[in-house]
Amino acid sequence: MNVLFLTLSNIENIEEGGIYTDLIRELRDNGITVYVASPRERRYGEPTELINNDSVNILKVKTGNITKTKSYIEKGISTVMIEYQFLRAIKKYFGDIKFDLVMYSTPPISFVRIIKYLKDKNHCKTYLILKDIFPQNAVDIGVLKEHGLIWRYFRRKETNLYKVSDYIGCMSYGNVEYIKNNNKLDGKQIEIFPNAIKPVRIQEPSIKNCDILIKYGIPKGKVIFIYGGNLGKPQGISFILSVIDNFYRVDNGFLLIVGSGTEYYNINKHINETDPKNVKLIEWMPKNEYNEILKCSDVGLIFLDHRFTIPNIPSRLLSYYEYSKPILAATDPNTDLKEIIAESQSGFWCESDDIEKFIEYANKMSNNQKMIQQLGENGRRYLEENFNIEKTIKILINHLMEGNNV
């Protein structure tokens, strides 16, 4: 059986850990031939090409710059062009392949023409892995005006994507209910397909291994609260700035932010102007070094803008759980991330406009290493029981086994 996976994630080495690379490997290890179409952004200066990575065929499609760009205009134009660029490359490199299943993850919603073309050509099943509900998430944080011209364009793309999808896999129960309540869809096509990875056992760091902290000017002996990921409007930058300004109130705490995005400049500027104590911002580091720092950290942070009306579940939750790190999350009240944290007993949650509650929880954790260890172990156990790719992959295989015709 042949499966095509379309994604905006930069995939070249499938042996790296991650929600999509783990998914690809698990499909391959179940005897399925996997093809991937993934962008190669203009900043890298390399052409479109087909590569084979450990029995997986990866089509690297040259696109405009989509991620880590400071310009929403550049990102918007690049996103609109993706559909044409991907379709042209797929016809050229995968034109003779018959696919049994086409999977695709949001963003973007602009894969509609590609999906329809592949579905009509192959008479195959189509599976949407729903991560971002766009354009509503952009409306929530003030990037788009609801019912405006641009909103109508993307909303039409969104509804067409749902219509062309035989199955829609949502991250959580909250996602499922949101999609059902806001779209005219057959409920049978919507199911829970959570973010999942293949957990690896992480060895406890020794004092020597934590020398990586010295390299980046991070003090040993502090309780390190780490945020690693995108720094854009969805993360609620005003609240992050408030955390930076107030973190001096956390006993023996150190705030480490590792990430890039449209709002990195504003955060960096604020730090340079205010010179906060026990706070460090790092734009980039090699992934292996980030993992070493995560291993030596104590608490994983999650931030989302408090205006979101959509139940978001950030995938960085899984990396924190994998490394047995407790969670301190500050988000909107609509996410069911708070229910996950409560059910797993893996940390604390507050709304991302309540700085006093955030500082209270940070102090509670920084003063109790035994609590930190227990909450981290709880999160690791919850990951293995609920977000293990070996379990979720069965959802896709069951759909494949149902036959080629829906």
52-105 pLDDT, tens digit each: 887 899 999 998 777 666 566 776 677 777 888 999 999 999 999 999 999 999
Count other Cβ atoms within 10 Å, centred on residue 187. 9
* SS3 call for 288: helix
State which fold the 209-386 domain adopts: Rossmann fold (3.40.50)
Residue whose pair of structure tokens reads 């959509």 in the numeric block: 310
Task: Decide if 352 contacts 236 (C-beta within 8 A).
Answer: yes
List of residues 6+ apart from 165 with CB closer than 8 A: 115, 126, 127, 128, 189
The length of the chain is 406
Mean pLDDT of 338-355: 96
At 377 the pLDDT is 96
What sign does the dihedral 288-242-351-252 (CA atoms) show? Answer: positive
Task: Domain 2-197+388-401: give its CATH architecture.
Answer: 3-Layer(aba) Sandwich (3.40)
β-pairing verdict for 223-228 and 190-192? unpaired
Helix-helix angle 355-366:369-386, to 10 degrees? 100
Query: Which part of the chain is CATH 3.40.50.2000?
Result: 2-197+388-401, 209-386
pLDDT in tens, 157-207: 899 999 999 999 999 999 998 998 888 887 778 999 999 999 988 877 655
pLDDT in tens, 256-302: 999 988 899 999 999 999 999 899 999 989 988 999 999 999 999 99
